[in-house]
Amino acid sequence: LQYKNHKAYMLGDTCLDGVSAKNADITAIGVLSGYGDKEQLHQCSDMVFLDALEAVEFLSTPTNHKTSS
């Protein structure tokens, strides 16, 4: 596929999720509401949020796209 992934995001709660997102060339977003801890998720994600709702609220603000926490 010749698709630009600039607006694609993957939310996950483990580093495996973050690595998978980066391998797919999309933004990895870690959420602390699952298995991974804060330190691990910061190492393998582009940004980290408390939960999926916080991540979606951040992403719904156009000026916040492609920034890191």
| pLDDT, tens only, 33-58 | 988 889 999 999 999 999 999 999 99
pTM: 0.79
pLDDT of residue 44: 95
Both ends of the chain: CA-CA distance in Å?
A: 30
Least confidently predicted of 22-26, 33-37, 61-65: 61-65
The per-residue b/e assignment along 16-53, b for 16 or more CB within 10 angstroms, e otherwise, is ebbeebeeeebbbbbbeeeebeeebbbebbbbbbeeee
pLDDT at site 66: 54
